Amino acid sequence: MHPVLFHLGPFTVRYYGLMYVTALLVAIVLLRVQAKERRLPVENMVDLAFYTFVGGLLGGRLYYVILKWGYYGAHPLKIVAIWEGGMAIHGGLIGGLIGAWLYARTVGLPILMLCDMLAPVVSLGHAFGRFGNFMNGDAHGYPLRSPLLPAWLRQFPDWMGVTFPPTSIAGREFGSVPLHPVMLYEMVLNLIGFGLLWSLRKRPWAPGRLLGVYLIYYAAVRSFTSLFRADDLYLGPFRMPHVISLVMAMVGVWLIGFRRRQGVSQTVETIITPNQGQ
């Protein structure tokens, strides 16, 4: 793998950036499909994708920089070097949610409905991003036989290991030792998540439940893949992804449970009210 796709005069096209652009374009297409299904203005979906995308970029970078301030405080010019990696998905989710909320307020649409529309889109876009991480050689895993891995995770066959170029972040840290391609593990799991969420999108659920499914699913995915990650951010002795994933799962359970009860109440009210009018 190599981070650069090609050079075009003074411009350099990198896989990492290309995956972000691809994710944005695919997001617009999928949001337009859902807008037609929900009878919403299709032309507004470009704005929704843009608000969410910009919020995700800013949130993902700010989250990472804050938790790595020891490095970025000493190298402030590196703060803008996002092509080198350093985007935290949990910060991106928070920033994207803020962006979607701002858009929802602007056009007067329910934020939970928009989040349901964004859930499968985010999962697919995240899969593109993980391929960018793979080509970049960041968001990498431990060596296959690392003593830092639990014993049951040291049983993977040798052919699953990937040796990254010495110029990549993974290569600089571990050299020519085969590593877990954890970004590919997460890419596949995010693709599965997209398939699940996309197939559930037409269920007659109360707004917010599909978002709840996404939060629970990705919390489980990231909790698992973080066991392999060599570059996770930490909060004291705890891996930050495990802390945030616990919060995500709790919010997801609350959304599903609360919205389910609300949906049942609305259904009962719809059935009873006409009878009372007779």
CB-CB contact of 91 with 59 (8 Å): yes
User: Which residues are CB-contacts of 177 (< 8 A; sequence separation ≥ 6)?
Assistant: 143, 163
Tell me the C-alpha distance between 141 and 275, whole Å. 61
CB-CB contact of 59 with 95 (8 Å): yes
Mean pLDDT by 10 residues, the chain (278 residues): 84 90 97 96 94 95 88 87 81 96 95 97 96 93 93 90 93 94 97 98 92 98 95 87 95 85 45 41
- For β-strands 234-235 and 11-14, DSSP reports them as unpaired
Closest CA to 119 of 103, 100, 105, 143: 100
According to the model, what pLDDT value does residue 12 have? 87
User: Which residues are CB-contacts of 16 (< 8 A; sequence separation ≥ 6)?
Assistant: 3, 83, 85, 132, 133, 135, 136
Q: Which two tokens stand for residue 166?
A: 């010495």
Tell me the C-alpha distance between 63 and 56, whole Å. 10
Give pTM, 2 decimals: 0.88
According to the model, what pLDDT value does residue 9 have? 84
